[in-house]
Amino acid sequence: MEAVMARINLVLVLCVAAAALMASFVAAAGEGAAATAKELRRGFSVTHDQSYSQFQPVLSDPTGAFALGFLRVDTTMLDLAVLHLPSAFPLWRAIPDRPAPWSAAASLSFDGGLVLTDHAVNKVLWSTAAASASAGDRVLLLNTSNLQIQSASGSSADVVWQSFDYPSETIVQGQNFTSAAALYTFDRRFAMRLGSNYFGLYIEPPPPSSSGVAAAMYFKHTALEAKAQIVAGGGPTYARVEPDGFLAMYQKEGPPADVLSFDTFNRGVRAFRRMTLEPDGNLRAYYWDGTRWALDYTAITEPCELPTTCGAYSVCRAQPSGRCECLANATDGSGCATAAAPAASVGGSLCGTTGGEVGGLYRAVRRQGVEPVNKELLGFERAASAADCEARCERNCSCWGAVYSNGTGYCYLMDYPAQLLVEGDERKVGYFKVRSLEDEAAARGRSGASRVKAVLLAVGVAAVVGAAAFGAYKVWDSRRRTAVDARRQMGDVDDGLSPGPYKNLGSFSSVELTNSFRR
Ligand SMILES: *[C@@H]1O[C@H](CO)[C@@H](O)[C@H](O)[C@H]1NC(C)=O
Ligand SMILES: *[C@@H]1O[C@H](CO)[C@@H](O)[C@H](O)[C@H]1NC(C)=O
Ligand SMILES: *[C@@H]1O[C@H](CO)[C@@H](O)[C@H](O)[C@H]1NC(C)=O
Ligand SMILES: *[C@@H]1O[C@H](CO)[C@@H](O)[C@H](O)[C@H]1NC(C)=O
Ligand SMILES: *[C@@H]1O[C@H](CO)[C@@H](O)[C@H](O)[C@H]1NC(C)=O
């Protein structure tokens, strides 16, 4: 009898404790919600507070799933971002042209438009003013993660500016992606753009645009137009991630002109979805399953079709998949761009004349048995012979390579430095203009052209940097997974905050978020 009473007491105590805990949690949440800025009015200003380790929230959406705030990026830099709080994933970033360090005396203010200012140098880092014609009256973060500036004209609220029109590398469910916007990886090496009836992934030319390098398309998805036609003059097309698990292409609302289905297509999975152009150049879709981003779609599944697998001036082998070889023999292990074959070299500018607009030294490398993996996306001409094909490229200032197929008589011309090459049959003959670091040094010494340097940096080093970035990303990704797993084992994921890609996320907790909204 006494034992039973003791047990009942214990249960009672536990119940009371649990209730108290729950009450305090609810109270904390309620307090947080009450103190949270849900709307910014004219005259609003907030100063960046460095005591936040990763993210200082400023404005939250009605559900508390998203927040706009100061985000620490690349360890040391400051940006404005809309974060998905449970994952700490930035769904949108302002990406100022001149980024400021995290230690900057920055402020975010609203006076018709949002302005991010660095007070140390008294400079506007970023603002919505250039993009919006009229001034707004309030800033809201919608439950879709869309950051809106609205003007209260009469009874209806007009949208003066919205973050959905300026995506960074991610679009979310319900966000219209138009040809007026593009997704860029944060390093701006890769882009996703919408065409009239397709979308494509591109290797971006290095700045400046006069570098004589074009964007290289490495993936194209064309609308099937099964349920709706895309008609010329019928308005711009747009793409949108839909709740049923697909990327739709439309010209007008109604049945889509194209359905690109994800793994969970029509399976009744109702979750928050996003599509992101990732640092490796791949396009992936995810949904938030409550604890992690579940992968739902991957655009490129063949390693050799991904530009970061091998980088510039290399050949990707299908067997074993994803093994890379330099186009010309590497000599010092510093990347394929430095490995121009000296024996086969010819001096001269890209189009055979010295001092031309696109000028700069290159070496010619010829190789049999290679072809562009994206040849379906390249323009081709018919040529009588490999020599004929090569000659067309050699004289052409915007040509970086030509591959002749002796089987079909097609001559593929590449208007970007050799990449995305795979092994082909022996009847394919390639001719490539390769810039080496020595050439660049010499060219710079002679002409002093900074343009050359830009090409060198972007093309030559891209392969190395890309590989390093991808490696780092992988390390981060595996660490993140390990951390999530560890936390899961500790039963520590119920707070809905799983570690994101930022250091010190231990201190980035719901407590910090709640406190930050108190004034
Ligand atoms: C988001 O807000 C809209 C109205 O603005 C509402 O209809 C919808 O249910 C909300 N969604 C969520 C997930 O809260
Ligand atoms: C997307 O575009 C459609 C058609 O123009 C429009 O009705 C809808 O409001 C847009 N959605 C957003 C979030 O802008
Ligand atoms: C690479 O080196 C090997 C042997 O050293 C040689 O046979 C081959 O022709 C070289 N290839 C190129 C493209 O220079
Ligand atoms: C020069 O090469 C580019 C591709 O590299 C091609 O599009 C263009 O038609 C070529 N121009 C001439 C005159 O052959
Ligand atoms: C191309 O094909 C022709 C005729 O079949 C042949 O004579 C020539 O050797 C081939 N050239 C190459 C590079 O394979």
Residue with the smallest CA separation from ligand 2 atom 10 is: 176
Residue with the smallest CA separation from ligand 4 atom 10 is: 396
Residue 444 lies in a domain: no
Residue 29 lies in a domain: no
Asked whether 341 lines ligand 3 (CB < 6 A), one says: yes
Which domain-ending residue is among 148, 165, 182?
A: 165
Q: What is the mean pLDDT of residues 459-480?
A: 39
| Phi and psi, residue 326, nearest 5° | -75, 145
* C-alpha to C-alpha distance for 461 and 457, rounded to whole angstroms: 5
Same domain, 46 and 155: yes
Asked whether 106 lines ligand 3 (CB < 6 A), one says: no
Same domain, 265 and 324: no
Structure-block tokens of residue 120:
């140390």
Residue with the smallest CA separation from ligand 5 atom 7 is: 406
Report the nearest atom of ligand 1 relative to the CA of 62: 14
pLDDT of 153 = 73
Which one of 406, 408, 425, 431 would you pick to mutate in the ligand 5 pocket, going by the greatest count of ligand atoms within 8 A of its CB?
Answer: 406
Report the nearest atom of ligand 3 relative to the CA of 341: 14
* C-alpha to C-alpha distance for 114 and 132, rounded to whole angstroms: 10
Q: Does the structure show a pLDDT above 70 at 58?
A: yes
Asked whether 391 lines ligand 4 (CB < 6 A), one says: no
What spacing in Å lies between the alpha carbon of 380 and ligand 5's midpoint?
Answer: 19
Same domain, 489 and 503: yes
Residue 201 lies in a domain: yes
Strands 258-261 and 246-250: antiparallel
Residue 182 lies in a domain: yes
CATH number at residue 60: 2.90.10.30
Residue 4 lies in a domain: no
pLDDT of 311 = 86
The model carries a pTM of 0.77
Which domain-ending residue is among 267, 301, 335?
A: 301
Residue 9 lies in a domain: no
Which domain-ending residue is among 418, 435, 452?
A: 435
Name the region of 448 (left: φ>0; alpha: ψ -120 to 50; beta: rest): left
Summarize pLDDT for 152-170 with one digit per residue, the tens: 876 667 899 999 999 999 9
Q: Give the 3-state secondary structure of residue 479.
A: helix
Same domain, 389 and 506: no
Residue 451 lies in a domain: no
CATH number at residue 370: 3.50.4.10
Same domain, 261 and 364: no
Summarize pLDDT for 328-364 with one digit per residue, the tens: 765 444 467 654 333 333 334 466 543 333 345 677 8
Cα–Cα distance list, 252 to 142, 218, 234, 244, 300 (Å): 24, 28, 8, 19, 28
Cβ 62 vs Cβ 143: under 8 Å: yes
Asked whether 270 lines ligand 1 (CB < 6 A), one says: no
Residue with the smallest CA separation from ligand 2 atom 8 is: 176
What is the identity of the amino acid at 171?
A: I
Structural domain for 360, as ranges: 308-435
Q: Does the structure show a pLDDT above 70 at 325?
A: yes
Number of domains in the chain: 4
Report the nearest atom of ligand 5 relative to the CA of 406: 1
Cα–Cα–Cα angle for 183, 456, 277, rounded to 5 degrees: 15
Same domain, 257 and 139: no
Same domain, 98 and 146: yes
